Chains A and B, each alone.
Chain A
């Protein structure tokens, strides 16, 4: 059971927009700790996609965006492409667990 809750899977057709939710609590996302997102393509190491709620590292397409409200955060992907098919993870800091770093359980994105 992960501290941050994500849907196990989402899907969308090429060109569509999809969102992935990440629900936490008042000791992590709700306490205004930053939410970060990672993309893990099949057979590869995770890659930072969004940091500090809504910032993209250099090289990440503008199609990827993040948002946060209350105890939840979301990753949005617009103009879905076949190469976006991957696992996506949210991550934050949790003050109730001795300053632990916590991940969501991950969401598998399927491009139809």
Chain B
């Protein structure tokens, strides 16, 4: 079965950097888009970024554009999110998810358990 395991979260000071990782198993990782979604404490879901199967294209929410970079290593079945210039409002649980694209439908059909990122001094 599909398994996604995030790691790399933790406490970081404002202006600092953090790199999240997501280890995938149970499916052909290189065949799928992948994405990151976050959820601030007590708040709703916010899409952060997605990347195509072979890393030819990546897209970002305006709130993180220019600060976050998504990448993947298909050989290692891993997804990454490099987060720079972190702000207090980036504090959230970050979920890694498989993004299925079918026509004009883009949906997340498998999710990891999440990794908490806290930005505070």
Binding site for B on A (CB under 8 A): 2, 31-34, 36, 38, 40, 45-48, 51-52, 57, 87, 89, 91, 93, 97-106
Mask of B36-53 contacts with A, CB within 8 angstroms, 1/0? 010000001111001000
A residues less than 8 Å from B32 (CB atoms): none
Interface range on chain B (Cβ under 8 Å from partner): 20 to 34
Binding site for A on B (CB under 8 A): 35, 37, 44-47, 50, 59, 61-62, 95, 100, 102-114
Q: Are A46 and B44 in contact (CB under 8 A)?
A: no
A residues less than 8 Å from B111 (CB atoms): 45-47
Given A45-B113, A46-B95, A97-B62, are A103 and B107 neighbors across the interface (CB < 8 Å)?
Answer: no
Given A45-B112, A101-B35, are A34 and B107 neighbors across the interface (CB < 8 Å)?
Answer: yes
Interface of B is mostly: strand
- Give B33 Cβ to nearest chain A Cβ, in Å: 11
Q: Are B61 and A100 in contact (CB under 8 A)?
A: yes
Q: Are B114 and A34 in contact (CB under 8 A)?
A: no
Find the B residue at minimum CB distance from A106: B44
25 intermolecular pairs with C-beta atoms under 8 Å apart: A31-B104, A34-B105, A34-B106, A36-B108, A38-B108, A40-B45, A45-B95, A45-B113, A46-B111, A47-B111, A48-B107, A48-B108, A48-B109, A51-B105, A51-B109, A52-B102, A52-B105, A52-B107, A57-B109, A87-B44, A89-B45, A93-B104, A100-B61, A101-B47, A106-B45
